[in-house]
Structure 1
Amino acid sequence: MEFNVQQLERTNLYQLLVGCILPRPIAWVSTQDMKGVCNLAPFSFFNVMSVTPPLLGISILKQASERDKDTLANIRLTGELVVNIVNLPLAEAMNVTCGAYAPDVDEFELAGLARATSVTVKPPGVAEAPVRLECTLHQCLSFGHGSGAGNLVLAEVKYIHVADEVWRDGAVDDLALQAVGKLGGDRYSLAEPAFSLARPV
Structure 2
Amino acid sequence: MYIETSDPTYKTSLFNAIVAPRPIGWISTLDETGAPNLAPFSYFNGMSATPPMVMFACNQPADRDEKDTLNNVRRTGEFVANLATYALREEMNGSSVTVPHGVDEFELVGLAKGASRCVKAPRVAASPVAMECRLLRVVDFEPEAAGDRRSSVVFGRVLALHIDDAYLDEAGRFDMLKARPLARLGGFTYLAVGDVFEMGRPKVAAG
Which TM-score bucket, shorter chain as reference?
Answer: over 0.9
- Whose radius of gyration is greater, 1 or 2? 2
Deviation of 1:21 after TM superposition, in Å, equals: 1.0
The alignment partner of 2:59 has SS state of: coil
Q: Secondary structure at the match of 1:123?
A: coil
Question: C-alpha displacement at 1:147, in angstroms?
Answer: 5.2
TM-score (norm 2): 0.92
- The partner residue of 2:98 within 88, 97, 100 is 100
Q: For the residues of structure 1 that align with 2:121 and 2:26, how far apart are their CA atoms?
A: 13
Deviation at 1:45, TM superposition (A): 0.4
Q: Distance in 1 between matches of 2:38 and 2:148?
A: 21
**Aligned position for 2:54:** 56
TM-score, length-normalised on structure 1? Answer: 0.94
Tell me, which stretches of 5 or more residues in structure 2 are unaligned?
Answer: none
* Contact kept in structure 2, 1:66 and 1:147, CA below 8 Å: no
1:5 aligns with 2:12: no
Deviation at 1:197, TM superposition (A): 2.0
The residue number in structure 2 matching 1:88 is 86
Moved more, 91-100 or 162-171: 162-171
CA distance 1:148–1:200, shift in 2 (3 Å): farther
The percent of aligned pairs where both chains have the same amino acid is 38
**Which residue does 1:32 correspond to in 2?**
30
Structure 2 counterpart of 1:16, from 14, 17, 37: 14
Equivalent residue pairs, number: 199
5+ residue gaps, structure 1: none
Does the CA contact (< 8 Å) of 1:23 and 1:182 recur in 2? yes
- Specify the code of the residue in structure 2 equivalent to 1:183: L
Deviations 1:33-88 (Å, cap 9, x if unpaired)? 11111000000101111223211010111112451100000000000100000111
**Contact 1:137-1:154 within 8 A present in 2 as well:** yes
Give, in whole Å, the separation in 2 of the partners of 1:147 and 1:105.
28
- Give 1:186's aligned amino acid: F
Query: Relative to structure 2, which stretch is displaced further, 46-55 or 156-165?
Result: 46-55
Aligned-residue CA RMSD in angstroms?
1.4
Question: 1:196, CA displacement in angstroms?
Answer: 2.5
- Aligned in 2, Cα 1:53/1:160: closer, same or farther, shift over 3 Å? same
1:110 — aligned with what? Answer: 108
CA distance, structure 2, for counterparts of residue 13 and residue 118 of structure 1: 40
Quote the Cα distance in structure 2 between the aligned partners of 1:124 and 1:42: 15
Q: Describe the shift of the 1:89–1:187 C-alpha distance in structure 2 as closer, same or farther (beyond 3 A).
A: same
